[in-house]
Structure 1
Amino acid sequence: MAQATLTITMPEQVWIQQLSTTYPTATFRVLAAVPGAETGFALVRITGTDVDDVIEATRDHPQILELTLVHSSENEATVHFETTAPLLLFSAQESGMPIELPIEVVDGKTTIEVTGSRDRLAGLAEQLDRFGLSYRIEHVRERLHESQLLSDRQLEVVAAAVEEGYYDTPRRCSLTELAEYLGIAKSTCSETLHRAEEGIIKRFVEDLPELDTEEPLEDQLASS
């Protein structure tokens, strides 16, 4: 499985782009969302000093068919609405790639996390292009389950090392003390820790964002 982080800029003709750029200090936090046949429904928390104005502008926008105020307090409100322009939802639906919620839209932009097969990610890129959503790729990486990174024994030793303070500065537990705590030879403890640390460090380095963000997502998926 591959995991991608993308920063998306909404098209100018879409209500969320218009309102979030008109009120750039407001944050639209999408808590839940579902696409319908031709519209989309969402539960959104709006925060900022202009919340009342934002809600009224949202209610009056022609792309908002219905808006219900769920909760409001000073500088914060939660609303449920139906819109004719849920472009992110349509992109996710058409590609079969769910977007991890919540996401935040500020000043016309949002950063999303998606996880799935490389074919699905490429399909999402095609749908984003289709709906006029420009995007910048922050990174694409392989997403492996933790069990593929460390063996059960390595995980046990590392967890004990953390709990006993072996990795603290200064250390609260020496390698000899850790081995005695685990009931294993010092050399076995050292070797197990070394192999576990190797896997963890290599995974960390692999996850560093080194990809060319100007290259299309489909090309990055094909070449990586």
Structure 2
Amino acid sequence: MFALPVSFPAHLVSTTDRFRMPHTKLIVTIPEETWIHGVSTAHPDIEFTVVATLAGETTGIALLECTASNGSEVLVDIERREDVTDLDLLWTHDDELLLQVETEAPVLLTPVWRTGVLPQTPFVVRDGEVTWELTTTSGRLSRLGDRLADAEIRFDIEYVRTFGTDFASHLLTDRQRQLVLAAFERGYYATPRTATLTEVAESVGISKATASDTLHRAEGRIIDWFIGEHVTNHSGADRPLD
């Protein structure tokens, strides 16, 4: 974890392209005075999946799911927290619970609410930590770091990546993009497949051999991008476009 005060390193969030936006993954240490810190650390094996949140100046509402064999104990534990003003059990089946929790002084949500940053939902809380993925402007991301530091909320930056319309438009050539879309629309990638490679090729007026080669190159670019985004730091941008 970063020692406080901390902000996002400038070289990670700055960009000269107004169409590119940082995509960030944060591991945030939840303040000890909040109900969710107390409950999640008291039940460290339970994942609380936050489906939706709504925050204001003095109150916060969270819709969350969890699977717990000791569900009644978890409910009692939540109700006992001083900052919880309302608790509703919306649905339950076997060990699964769907809860709506209203709290006062939403310390964790206030920084993101005030900076206009929306964590992607659902997100997971476990054992006193929350994992957030954010896509926003570099300015808002920097302000969020400042707000978290001001609130003495510790966080770890797992990664900061950038993407934008410029990258998406250059991932594939026009010919590759046209062929991939034609193949998708005709069901070439469906299960079961509803179009043959020959039919896809004929639909755009090229030979089967050309279609096979073009799709192979396009699929390689897409897979390289996926691996770079979700598996390693490798970037598919190094693969030749044609």
Note whether the superposition's TM-score is higher than 0.5: yes
Q: In structure 2, which of residues 176, 190, 194 is the aligned counterpart of residue 154 of structure 1?
A: 176
Q: In structure 1, which of residues 13, 17, 42 is the aligned counterpart of residue 37 of structure 2?
A: 17
CA displacement 1:136-159 (0-9 Å, x = unmatched): 222111122444533553123235
CA displacement 1:86-142 (0-9 Å, x = unmatched): 233211112111111111111112211110111111111112222232222221111
Task: Spell out structure 1 runs of 4+ moving beyond 4 A.
Answer: 159-165, 176-182, 185-195
In structure 2, how many angstroms separate the alpha carbons of the residues matched to 1:122 and 1:38?
24
The residue number in structure 2 matching 1:32 is 52
In structure 1, how many angstroms separate the alpha carbons of the residues matched to 2:219 and 2:46?
43
Runs of 5+ unmatched residues, structure 1: 166-172, 211-224
The residue number in structure 2 matching 1:87 is 107
CA displacement 1:3-62 (0-9 Å, x = unmatched): 111112212222211111111122211111111221111112232112111111101110
**Aligned residues of 2:57 and 2:105 also touching (Cα < 8 A):** no
Are 2:124 and 1:104 aligned? Answer: yes
Are 2:87 and 1:43 aligned? Answer: no
Runs of 5+ unmatched residues, structure 2: 1-20, 190-195, 234-242
Aligned to 1:65, the other structure's residue is in SS state strand
In structure 2, how many angstroms separate the alpha carbons of the residues matched to 1:85 and 1:37?
7
**Aligned residues of 1:141 and 1:206 also touching (Cα < 8 A):** no
Question: CA separation of 1:206/1:91 partners in 2, compared to 1, >3 Å: closer, same or farther?
Answer: same
Aligned to 2:31, the other structure's residue is in SS state coil
TM-score, reference length from structure 1: 0.75
Amino acid at match of 1:41: I
Are 2:81 and 1:61 aligned? Answer: yes
**Aligned residues of 1:66 and 1:82 also touching (Cα < 8 A):** yes
The residue number in structure 2 matching 1:137 is 157
Question: CA separation of 1:35/1:158 partners in 2, compared to 1, >3 Å: closer, same or farther?
Answer: same
Amino acid at match of 1:134: R
The residue number in structure 2 matching 1:169 is none
The residue number in structure 1 matching 2:14 is none
Question: CA separation of 1:44/1:177 partners in 2, compared to 1, >3 Å: closer, same or farther?
Answer: closer
In structure 1, how many angstroms separate the alpha carbons of the residues matched to 2:75 and 2:223?
47
The residue number in structure 1 matching 2:26 is 6
TM-score, reference length from structure 2: 0.70
